Structure 1
Amino acid sequence: MSKLNLFNKFVFFINSIVATILLLSYLLPYVEPERSAFISVLSLTVPFLIIVNILFVIYWLLSVKKQLLLSLIVLLIGFNHIASLYRFSASKHVEDDANIAVMNYNVRLFNLFKWIPNPDVPFEISQFIKDKKPDIISMQEYRPDDGLALQEYYKFEVLSGNKIKNGQAIFSKFPIINKGSIEFPNTYNNAIFVDVVKGKDTIRIYNVHLQSLKIDASTDPLKNETSENLFKRVGNTFRLQQAQADLFLEHKAKSQYKVIICGDFNNTAYSYVYNKIKGDNLNDAFVEAGNGFGRTFNFKFFPVRIDFIMADDNFEINNFKTFEIGFSDHFPIMSKVKVK
């Protein structure tokens, strides 16, 4: 440190703070929001912290200073966190006639309130789905719309609300032999499921929509709200998400079938609810077969991945792709999986 000039001493001081916060954030998936909601909120900043630490490594590398070791070591310790943010390898792409193409998409009410200057969003989404040919489609913030043309699918939807009926839906090209809903108290969010038959296999598909953070993707969250109020609101949301995840897992534990989970968790891969739902026997399709940032939410400040497809150990994950199309504030994701 003695060989650093005054400016670089200040840079290293900031570097030390950011590296320490990132190191502590590695514990966040194991901290229950019910115990410390304030600390859990930090999970939203992990993508930003990773990117800033990478920039510090580059800065010290270009300056030929050993201080690069601080952020580099912290990043290496949390290599799995980096893998959840960015996949350096090429996308896995295994074509197999036995593949099941599973899509997840938060459709944001098919642009009901004209957030996007496009009057044909339901039709555009229909055309997109027809082009990609998924076998299973899981939709959040769904509402019945005459412009959505998916006649070749079986469908299960659960709707609520007074003026505008909306909720979750699952579309399947395979016959649905059972279906149901897991109700979350005091909210319109819930989880639904269907059991579908493909050949000799019965597969349970879950569509999970956890409590929303209610953050507008196009604006600065602090612009219209103080940081104190924002942390309090998000902390309360994380507590609700924890309770909702517990209800979902209680239901899932009773399933005797092979399981695929789709959904909008409204939280990142560094959160307690993601870690809890994923557990030890589910595989994140992006981590197994994706590449790049894999962002699923059109947040303008840094890449955010809050929509997921997971499959249990009965499946091989042969492909994953995010489609950055502008029909919602979320991007659709699709994975191709095969029963082992």
Structure 2
Amino acid sequence: MKHVVKIILLILNTLWGLLLIMGAYSAYCPTRVGILLELLFPLNLFVCVAFLFVWLAYNPRYIWVPVAALVLAWGGIARYCPIHKPQPPDNSAPGFTLMTYNVYFLLDYEGSDTPQNRTISFLLAQDADLVCLQEAPELADPNPGLKVAQAQIDSIHARYPYRIPTSHGMNFLSKYPARLLFDTVYSESSAVAAYRVQIGEREVTVVNQHMESIGLTQTDKELYHEITAHPNTDYLDEVKKHLLSKLVNAARARNKQADLTAEKIEELAGNVIVCGDFNDSPLSYAVRRFRRMGFRNAYNELGLGPGITYHANRFWFRIDHILYKGNMEARWLERLRYKSSDHYPLLVRFAWEPPAEIH
């Protein structure tokens, strides 16, 4: 009997190890299977780590099986869950701070009873030099329904003299001179806008991206919540019917949008930042598409842990990203756990580097 148990455990461990490895590199094969493996990556990672402890307790000589899977999948693991010592905020080197934040249309996710809009108060308190907003109104006038006070609007206008609202809730706030380069709508829930910012003698192009949402209905979200709270095989047909097809279709749409944005910016030289609500994980094709263009992922260089940026409905994923390239370097990063929105914002400090020498 013990031998049979060992064989079953080896088969299961090998299977989950293969799923983990394929999920780690699923962006190289953005098919339906690849997309599903990407979505299941955190579950497969958890199972493989669990097998480490199973073999330690049951038969340590086979611990090499989960270890081998983890080593082979390390490229994906490091992108999904980087391990870096947090750097304290230090603005001594010349540069600028940038925040990306999906502000949930300035609604209060927690429904707090405050006299003024919590999200705007939070933005002002962070005092970032450049702010990329998604799902944001124009911030031109007070709005009693959202508790947006005239004093808050006045503070935004004084703090950020350069404001560029565009279609589909995209908004850009800047302390420095900025102009719109392009504004493109991809669908009812996705758009992209790019801005050229002059910071002293330097220029930086900021691309504010809001990619295709999953498009789940309230019924879908309640189903997912029930599944994660009480796992049951009775839900499998409903999952396949209501959730998986929507997840896969939305991922395919984001892949196309990533290609379109990449084509728009591939000729842009100098300092470029692509940030926003990607609605996609660090292992996705969309993120890899920009990595292939030489972009670096600020969170992967500075973050610690999975860095969840979406916290609603048990969809705990890092779907907001800040990618960059040029003569600058991300020095510190904060994931600000403030729950006035269903997203957490990311705040990064960039320091200028000397221009590359021409030989």
Q: TM-score, normalised by structure 2?
A: 0.82
Q: Does the alignment pair 1:103 with 2:106?
A: no
Distance change in 2, residues 1:69/1:281 (3 Å): same
The CA deviation string for residues 210-253 of structure 1, in whole angstroms up to 9 with x for no partner, is 10013479744285943234222222212211221111111111
Size of the aligned set, in residue pairs, is 326
Instruction: Give, in whole Å, the separation in 2 of the partners of 1:211 and 1:30.
Output: 20
Q: Name the residue aligned to 2:206.
A: 205
Q: Does the alignment pair 1:133 with 2:131?
A: no
Q: Does the alignment pair 1:79 with 2:58?
A: no
Aligned ranges 1:1-340 → 2 under 5 Å: 4=2, 6-32=4-30, 36-93=31-88, 94-111=90-107, 115-120=109-114, 123-144=117-138, 146=142, 147=148, 149=153, 150-151=156-157, 152-153=159-160, 154-160=162-168, 167-184=169-186, 186-215=187-216, 219-221=222-224, 225-299=238-312, 301=314, 303-340=316-353
Q: Which one is further off, 131-140 or 7-16?
A: 7-16
Distance change in 2, residues 1:115/1:201 (3 Å): closer
Identity %: 21
Greater share of helix residues, 1 or 2?
2
Instruction: Give, in whole Å, the separation in 1 of the partners of 2:286 and 2:188.
Output: 17
Instruction: Give, in whole Å, the separation in 1 of the partners of 2:61 and 2:132.
Output: 49
Distance change in 2, residues 1:318/1:219 (3 Å): farther
The residue type equivalent to 2:131 in the other structure is I
Could you list the runs of 5+ residues in structure 1 that have no partner in the other structure?
A: 161-166
The CA deviation string for residues 136-163 of structure 1, in whole angstroms up to 9 with x for no partner, is 1111111245315422112111134xxx
In terms of Rg, which structure is larger?
A: 2
Distance change in 2, residues 1:116/1:182 (3 Å): same
Q: Contact 1:245/1:273 (CA < 8 Å) preserved in 2? A: yes
Instruction: Give, in whole Å, the separation in 2 of the partners of 1:313 and 1:52.
Output: 39
Report the RMSD for the aligned CA atoms in angstroms: 2.5
Distance change in 2, residues 1:74/1:296 (3 Å): same
Distance change in 2, residues 1:305/1:121 (3 Å): farther
The residue type equivalent to 1:235 in the other structure is V
Instruction: Give, in whole Å, the separation in 2 of the partners of 1:95 and 1:289.
Output: 16
Q: Name the residue aligned to 1:164.
A: none
The residue type equivalent to 1:276 in the other structure is R
Q: Name the residue aligned to 2:357.
A: none
Could you list the runs of 5+ residues in structure 2 that have no partner in the other structure?
A: 143-147, 227-234, 354-359
Instruction: Give, in whole Å, the separation in 2 of the partners of 1:9 and 1:136.
Output: 57
Instruction: Give, in whole Å, the separation in 2 of the partners of 1:69 and 1:129.
Output: 48
The residue type equivalent to 2:49 in the other structure is I
